């Protein structure tokens, strides 16, 4: 999984503080103190006056579907309708890697083999790849051949949102930093918070 801030409002914290100043009919002499007060008072609408665009890549389409539930963010995603998925990379869930048990699978009417969860998962991904390529050789359009692809496939997204939307994504009622969040989107959220705290340390990170 990779996360990269590719664009953001310059002087982000100052721009938010200046926008909030109109609410209090005051000039901004101490942006850090004002941001602290805005968070303390729950006046988070002021955070909507600055935006951040983040690119997330090498994560699963399963995880991307969870991202799309955040209606206050906007998304552009790599299209499987137009892009080839030859030799696609994919995410292997840790539960598959950590599982020590094996299961016997019949590969045909005469043979059976014992597979670990991880080996079985890689086998399934390889079969998906073979079927996908076979459909394309049969001149089936990519938009239909993709139906056989796994949700484990890597994807890429550009996501834009105002700072309030990102704050809600991380810390809101359904914030993705919570321990209850699914492991992959929580990993994405942890990295997003880390990078947002670098450009807005008085809003994100330890100062929340």
Q: How many domains does the chain have?
A: 2
Residues 104 and 11 both lie in one domain: no
Q: What is the DSSP string of 172-190?
A: STT-TTSTTS-HHHHHHHH
Q: What is the mean pLDDT of the chain?
A: 94
CB neighbour burial string for 101-135, b if at least 16 within 10 angstroms, e if fewer: eeeeeeeeeeeeeebebbebbeeebeebbeebbeb
Residues 143 and 160 both lie in one domain: no
Residues 67 and 10 both lie in one domain: yes
Query: What digits encode the pLDDT tens for the residues 106-157?
Result: 877 788 889 999 999 999 999 999 999 999 999 999 999 999 999 999 999 9
Query: What digits encode the pLDDT tens for the residues 62-119?
Result: 999 999 999 999 999 999 999 999 999 999 999 999 999 999 988 777 888 899 999 9
Is the whole-model pTM more than 0.85? yes
Residues 70 and 159 both lie in one domain: yes
φ and ψ of 161, to 5 deg: -160, 155
Residue 32 lies in a domain: yes
Strand 102-106 and strand 112-116: the pairing is: antiparallel
Range of the domain at 130: 94-148
């Amino acid at each position: 999984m990779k996360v990269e801030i590719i664009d953001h409002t310059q002087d982000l914290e100052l721009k938010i503080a200046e926008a909030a100043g109109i609410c209090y009919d005051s000039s901004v002499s101490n942006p850090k103190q004002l941001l602290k007060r805005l968070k303390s008072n729950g006046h988070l609408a002021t955070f909507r006056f600055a935006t951040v665009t983040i690119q997330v890549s090498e994560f699963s389409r399963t995880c991307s579907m969870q991202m799309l539930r955040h209606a206050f963010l906007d998304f552009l995603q790599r299209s499987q309708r137009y892009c080839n998925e030859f030799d696609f990379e994919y995410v292997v869930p840790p539960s598959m890697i950590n599982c020590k048990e094996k299961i016997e699978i019949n590969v045909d009417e005469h043979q059976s083999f014992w597979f670990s969860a991880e080996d079985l998962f890689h086998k399934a991904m390889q079969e998906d790849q073979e079927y996908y390529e076979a459909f394309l050789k049969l001149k089936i359009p990519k938009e239909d051949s993709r139906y056989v692809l796994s949700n484990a496939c890597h994807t890429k997204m550009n996501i834009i949102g105002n700072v309030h939307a990102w704050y809600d994504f991380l810390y809101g009622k359904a914030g993705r930093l919570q321990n209850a969040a699914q492991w992959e989107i929580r990993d994405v959220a942890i990295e997003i918070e880390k990078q947002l705290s670098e450009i807005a340390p008085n809003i994100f990170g330890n100062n929340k």
